[in-house]
Amino acid sequence: MYKLNDRLKGFYCLRCGEEFNIADYFTGCSTCSSDGFPVSLAPYYRGNCQIKNDQKRMFRYGSFLPYTDFPSLGEGGTPLIQARRLAEKYNLNSLYIKNEFQNPTGSHKDRMSPFIVARALETNSNIITVASSGNAGASLAAYAASAGLECKVITQSNINPVWKRAIAATGAELIYTETSQGRWDYLKEKVEKEGWYPATNYITPPVGSNPFGVQGYKTIAYEIYEDLQGVMPDWVLVPASRGDMLWGIYQGFQDLQDIKKISKLPRLIAVEPIERIQKVLKGADYRSSFTGDYALTTSIGGNTVTYQAIEAINNTKGTAVSVQQKEVPANIKELSSHGLYLESSSATIIGALKKLLKQGVIVTSDRVVMIASSNGYKDFPE
């Protein structure tokens, strides 16, 4: 059985700051929600959080996480590689790629799943569930299997067969809904009526994934800090959908600033397939629905944004950039020609970098980290 970190003191609302007891808040802040503003809660900790030098991978950062011990398949500790040839090509002094595709199921989602499983076990939940047509489903199914927990993946019949096979092989059940929204409606009903334990969001507009899980993404920030020996990047490019990873990385950097390991936060850049976050940064309501084509990059698709994504960008003075679908095949090819075969949603990082260099947002002297969130072996030809 997994035990909560005793430094964990409660949760707070990202928008109104109200504090809440330690519990599950799948639909975020009740006060903001009744005012019409869906927004997530995040945990806060007290006491002396420190990196444990005698531990490996994510266990090094246990004191910053909701559980100091959690089910593991060897996630985290992914390499930060120096992309010298790419840096030369784009006239950048330093360019790094954080290889999240080296996680056990080939994506960053493996940093989230251990905490969902730990929490489900601690709360005696018998069934764990996720609305996903891809990486989150494959990851949660694997971690549930490792812990012997029943897992239901709510998806659509057009799920890529590579993921379908990987999920089914774990023994998880795939449940198909007609529409993407239908996945969230189904999930909501099962969570509220039958007590299934959810990894992901199920309300519209969304708040983001389960906050216990999102905490796992903080470890990406700690690892970047350790690998760069404290000489922090100016920019971190993050492929984004609900903004879980953006928010997690931001919180990780914030933790490092709180314990005085870094003096300034790296600026976060959301990479998206259609203008969503960008429109909100220019004044659109974050609760709007945004349209556009994202068929080639469904992992970062969707028509909505979250409050947490906007906060992560505003709090780091970051920005957002979109990469059009027609650029995606060239993005995949370009990164592959540098040895990095990424899932289409993830390969957008190079398209984003090119755009920002052209706009003069990123300049030669900047230190840049790009998050390679998932490997290309999952992409199935349309």
Q: Out of 110, 255, 327, 343, point to the residue binding ligand PLP (CB under 6 A).
A: 343
Residues 334 and 306 sit within 8 Å (Cβ to Cβ): no
Tell me, rounded to whole angstroms, the distance of Cα 211 from its chain centroid.
11
Angle between helix axes 135-147 and 161-169 (nearest 10 degrees) is 10
Q: Which of residues 255-314 bind ligand PLP (CB under 6 A)?
A: 299-300
Which string of x and - marks every residue 136-155 that binds ligand PLP (by CB under 6 A)?
A: x-------------------
Q: Out of 191, 207, 237, 240, point to the residue binding ligand PLP (CB under 6 A).
A: 240
Using the rule CB under 6 A, is 244 a contact of ligand PLP? yes
Using the rule CB under 5 A, is 335 a contact of Zn ion? no
Stretch that binds ligand PLP, among 17-25, 28-36, 41-49, 128-136 (CB under 6 A): 128-136
Residues 330 and 296 sit within 8 Å (Cβ to Cβ): no
**What does the block give as tokens for 216?**
């796992």
Using the rule CB under 5 A, is 33 a contact of Zn ion? no
Q: Give whole-number Cα distances, 86 to 91, 223, 269, 280, in Å.
A: 8, 22, 19, 31
Q: Tokens 């068929």, residue?
A: 295
- At its nearest, how many Å lie between Zn ion and the CB of residue 34? 9
Closest C-alpha to 44, from 17, 79, 71: 17
CB under 5 to 8 A by kind: which of Zn ion, ligand PLP, none does 15 bind? Answer: Zn ion
Q: Look at residue 28 and give its three-state secondary structure.
A: coil
Stretch that binds Zn ion, among 6-14, 48-56, 301-309, 323-331 (CB under 5 A): 6-14
Q: Which is nearer to Zn ion, 27 or 297 (CB)?
A: 27
Burial-class residue 290 by CB neighbours within 10 Å (0-12, 13-18, 19+). Answer: middle
- At its nearest, how many Å lie between ligand PLP and the CB of residue 210? 12
Q: Which is nearer to Zn ion, 1 or 23 (CB)?
A: 23
- List interacting residues with ligand PLP (CB under 6 A): 107, 134-136, 239-246, 299-300, 343, 345-346, 373-374
